[in-house]
Chains A and B, each alone.
Chain A
């Protein structure tokens, strides 16, 4: 099956620093990837749609200058949390939509736990 890898799985950073999370599709190309955030015992909330070769589309209420998204290739999207604060601590999950014809299934990465201290 299709595999999406996220790195790092766990990260602890100091308040005010920036953290980068990578999302890679290992065995398929994905023009479109998605970034979600999930707080404990809550649902997955879409933050932005990452588009290869163009700017990401952010959901309402998500600060694009704080959550920088770069989709530089068909297999890699990165999310950078800039000037992180404790309230940014959360589980960040990416997902990818394969480019292959007829593909409707979206595959999730393993997720990244971010703790800002």
Chain B
């Protein structure tokens, strides 16, 4: 029940926008977004808990459509530091809050060029 991420890879020029999608075949309790630089551990970006919830931090925001079992990560006016692999981690509704294990998508490689 690994979530499906799209696209697999995207190349941007600095200042351009990008959208990364994450979808699940199962009902979701929450969606977590992480960014990982090569050779480093994932860094937490944000968590979305409610259907329709949107969050943002500076120029990175995300939405969660509970009915569609989808989440999207929006990167606007991309910076060089945004380069990395973005993973969504999903926590299924059937697991409940007491079994909080995340299943990660295969990742989206984002490259921002000058």
Does the CB pair A43–B105 fall under 8 Å?
Answer: yes
Does the CB pair B44–A108 fall under 8 Å?
Answer: yes
Closest Cβ of chain A: how far from B18's Cβ, in Å? 19
In the complex the two chains form, what is the Cα distance from A111 to B30 in whole Å?
A: 24
Q: From residue 39 to 91 of chain A, which have CB atoms closer than 8 A to chain B?
A: 42-46, 49
What is the chain B residue whose CB lies nearest that of A94?
B41
Q: Is B62 an interface residue (CB 8 A)?
A: no
Closest Cβ of chain B: how far from A71's Cβ, in Å? 14
In the complex the two chains form, what is the Cα distance from A34 to B2 in whole Å?
A: 17
Q: Is A25 an interface residue (CB 8 A)?
A: no
In the complex the two chains form, what is the Cα distance from A43 to B101 in whole Å?
A: 15
Question: Looking at chain B, what size class is its interface with the partner chain?
Answer: 20 to 34
B: residues with CB less than 8 A from A are 2, 30, 32, 34, 40-44, 47, 49, 87, 89, 99-107
Contact of B49 among A42, A43, A97, A104 (CB under 8 A): A104
Taking CB atoms, residues of chain B closer than 8 Å to A97 are 100
Q: Known: A104-B30, A104-B49, A106-B32. Is A46-B44 also a contact (CB below 8 A)?
A: no
Taking CB atoms, residues of chain B closer than 8 Å to A44 are 42, 87, 104
Taking CB atoms, residues of chain A closer than 8 Å to B41 are 93, 108-111
Q: List 13 A-B contacts (CB under 8 A).
A: A42-B106, A43-B104, A43-B106, A44-B104, A46-B102, A46-B104, A93-B41, A104-B100, A106-B89, A107-B44, A108-B41, A110-B40, A111-B41
Q: Known: A104-B30, A106-B32. Is A46-B103 also a contact (CB below 8 A)?
A: yes
Contact of A34 among B43, B47, B101, B106 (CB under 8 A): B101
